[in-house]
Amino acid sequence: MKTNIGTLLLTAVVALPAMIQAQPVYTPPVGFVSVTIPANSDAAIGAPLSRADEFVGVVESISSNVITLAGTPNFTVNQFVYASGTQPKTYFLRVDSDTKEGMILKVESNTANSVTVTIPAGESLAGILTNAVDNTGSAVSISPYWTPSTLVTGVLAGTQILRYPTNVAGTNLATSSTYTFNGTNWLQGVTNVNDLTFNPGEGFTLRNNSTTTQQTISITGAVPMTGVRSRFYTLAANTTQDQRIFYNSPVPEVIGNVFPPAALVAGDRLLAFNNAATGKNKSASTTLIWNGTNWLQGVTVVTTTYQLQPGTSYVFRKNQTGANPTSVVWSDLQSYLQ
């Protein structure tokens, strides 16, 4: 887990020493990213900040999908499990060091010193270090997912969140879910969805249905102090695949530093949207294409000049990969952690 944040350009709260489960740790800096949406318009959004960690520790041992943590964390049984009406948070364990840094594992249950997790498709826990003697196992943390009620606050009644499918093959995918704010709660139809979770790295659309410019929305949270780990994928033979993503950084990042060539194939595209422009269901304002060596905007090489913006989401269009669907790890370390 990296600790150098360099010249991070954020309004930050000075990190204060804290005690978590009798282990001295330091809270990461806190920052904010603001987005303003024009009247009757959409904005492509992501959450480049995290909710606060509620446990930080190291791995003692792993058995199948059960991770035992070193020391005596003394968790309450299933304290990290969602319970409607009494426990509104859903939690994940994040790997914060070594070869699986950035991996997100949903917590399904916990004992006093262990958590049972869901292992994402195509992943394994191999590479996560264990050590029961001197606490030199991989660093991990447990945090709650963002939800509509915790991430999108201070908006006008009628504002909507549009989410996109992750299991439908193809491009230009229609929204899979729409949530509407009624002034008090987020609803899908008549169902309260305040506590539904956003996956780390998931991009979505925020729709301002009012006739006035939306109040500026500020996303406040902890600055990510670990690298990015996700997957680019195709879902069907000979079919190009769209997925909504954002880069988990609260500062602009040069595209050539964000996507390692090993995660790309020639013909991959990144589609960007102009959040300052008016309109709904907007087409991409910028399309970049990877030619196998560089990112191009038209015929112009932009590998070292085009920047991904914090709080903005994109469509990553994975080029078709032949007769078999594939997925590849997207792993990267943000510039301010290097």
Does some domain include residue 43? no
Q: Are residues 56 and 130 in the same domain?
A: yes
pLDDT at residue number 22: 35
CA–CA separation, 114 vs 73, rounded Å? 9
Of 108-112, 167-171, 318-322, the range with the lowest mean pLDDT is 318-322
Q: What pLDDT is attached to residue 2?
A: 42
Among 221, 253, 268, which residue terminates a domain? Answer: 221
* 3-class state of residue 122 by DSSP: coil
Residue the block writes with tokens 């230009």: 172
Indicate whether 247 belongs to any domain: yes
Spatial separation of the C-alpha atoms in residues 33 and 146, rounded to whole Å: 15
Residue 189 and residue 101 share a domain: no
Of 97, 43, 107, nearest to 75 by C-alpha is 107
| Same structural domain, 315 and 331 | yes
Q: Are residues 328 and 234 in the same domain?
A: yes
Does the pLDDT value for residue 214 go beyond 90?
no
What is the average per-residue pLDDT within 46-70? 95
The alpha carbon dihedral of 264, 123, 140, 10 has a sign of positive
State what percent of residues in the chain have pLDDT above 90.
Answer: 79
pLDDT of residue 17: 30
d(CA 217, CA 214): 8
Tally the domains of the chain.
Answer: 3
Of 157, 186, 221, which residue constitutes the final position of a domain? Answer: 221
Name the more confident of 3 and 333. Answer: 333
| pLDDT average, residue stretch 64-69 | 97
Domain coverage including residue 293: 225-337
237 with 331, same domain: the answer is yes
Contact partners, residue 217, CB within 8 Å, separation at least 6? 34, 35, 36, 37, 152, 153, 154, 155, 206
* Domain match, 234 and 333 both: yes
**214 and 245 within one domain:** no
pLDDT at 312: 93
* pLDDT digits 0-9 by tens, 295-306: 999 999 999 999
Q: Domain boundary at 187, 221, 255, which?
A: 221
pLDDT of residue 10: 41
- Are 162 and 216 found together in one domain? yes
Given this model, what pLDDT does residue 132 score?
Answer: 66
pTM above 0.85, yes or no: yes
State the Cα–Cα distance between residues 105 and 175, nearest whole angstrom. Answer: 25
**pLDDT band at residue 8, thresholds of 50, 70 and 90?**
very low
For residues 121 and 137, membership in a common domain is answered with: yes
